[in-house]
Amino acid sequence: MVEILQRAGGSARYAELAGLTPARSIRTALERGEIDRVAKGVYALPTAPSDLTVALANGGVLARQSAALHHGLEVVTRPLVPHVLISRTQRRRETELSCVMHRTKTGLPERVTAPLQTVIDCARHLPFGEALALADSALRLKKVDPAALADAVRADRGAGSAAVLRVAASADARAESALESMLRARVIDAGFAGFVPQYRIRDASFFARVDLADPFLRIVLEADSFAHHGSRTALRKDCRRYVELAIRGWLLLRYSWEDVILDETWVGTSLDAAVRQAAVIPTASRIAAA
């Protein structure tokens, strides 16, 4: 019984168990404490419930950020409790396993929304930066095909379709981290359209791949995590790199996690000030702020 639940991801419906083992075995496992009944018709291993178990206990499937995590995608903010999608007509089940519940008029998948649907759902409901980070991750990890995403966006209608279109149009598989994607989202929100993810700068004696760069403005943006400079060697290497960029006429702006995630305006205002200070404000490189 325990092995069956382990292979099922930690939880299963009674009908699924009954198809593999006698009902008497299920009752015996319950009496021995080997499994728990977490909701009517739902059984799980007696450990901290997985997100899938919570979804099953509530009669739904994993969705949004919780589905993204299940698929191995990067998210900016991990949910405190799982996001669960249930049918619009379904009654809420009695269970102690809490969740953030969402309802849908369409049919439900087996246990979790597919990666493509997850990206679309998050683009519709999450802030732009968080949705972009997730979409970038899905493309980078090849969990979502770009053509399939484009088709889904064209077919999307109704509330939130403009947000879905914006995320899909901005998503880029070259982005290497959620922090970098959030930085790019702040830049886009500020009205700058020319910054390229993971841009390569090279000449006969130098090479660097930077988080974001606008080759026309000659500005580099870097998202620096606390762990990035974990040693003197790493710090020296980065200092040398920054000097080399400056020698070649690149202005480097570095942003911490707090700058990017917690302050909605700092990236935009500082970048705008840097461009103005350099007296370089090319209209071809700007877009209207959203």
State the residue for tokens 């960029």: 245
Query: Tokens in use for 210?
Result: 């930077």
Work out the percent of the chain whose per-residue pLDDT is above 90.
58
Domain boundary among 170, 196, 227: 170
Instruction: Provide the pLDDT confidence category of residue 284 given band limits of 50, 70 and 90.
Output: very low
The verdict on 227 and 264 lying in the same domain is yes
Note whether residue 77 is domain-resident.
no
Note whether residue 108 is domain-resident.
no
For 14, the domain range is 1-48
pLDDT at 97 over 90: no
Note whether residue 159 is domain-resident.
yes
- Average the pLDDT over 240-259 and give the result: 91
Q: Read off the CATH number of the domain in which 260 is found.
A: 3.40.960.10
- Average the pLDDT over 199-203 and give the result: 94
Which comes out higher in pLDDT, residue 285 or 269? 269
pLDDT digits (tens, 9 = 90+) for 7-18: 666 778 888 888
The verdict on 201 and 273 lying in the same domain is yes
Note whether residue 276 is domain-resident.
yes
Number of domains in the chain: 3
Note whether residue 188 is domain-resident.
yes
pLDDT at 185 over 90: yes
Note whether residue 113 is domain-resident.
no
Note whether residue 67 is domain-resident.
no
Note whether residue 92 is domain-resident.
no
Domain boundary among 113, 141, 170: 170
- Global pTM value: 0.80
The verdict on 277 and 202 lying in the same domain is yes
pLDDT at 153 over 90: yes
- Average the pLDDT over 166-194 and give the result: 96
The verdict on 189 and 156 lying in the same domain is no
Q: Please, what sign has the CA dihedral across residues 146, 148, 153, 159?
A: negative
The verdict on 235 and 254 lying in the same domain is yes
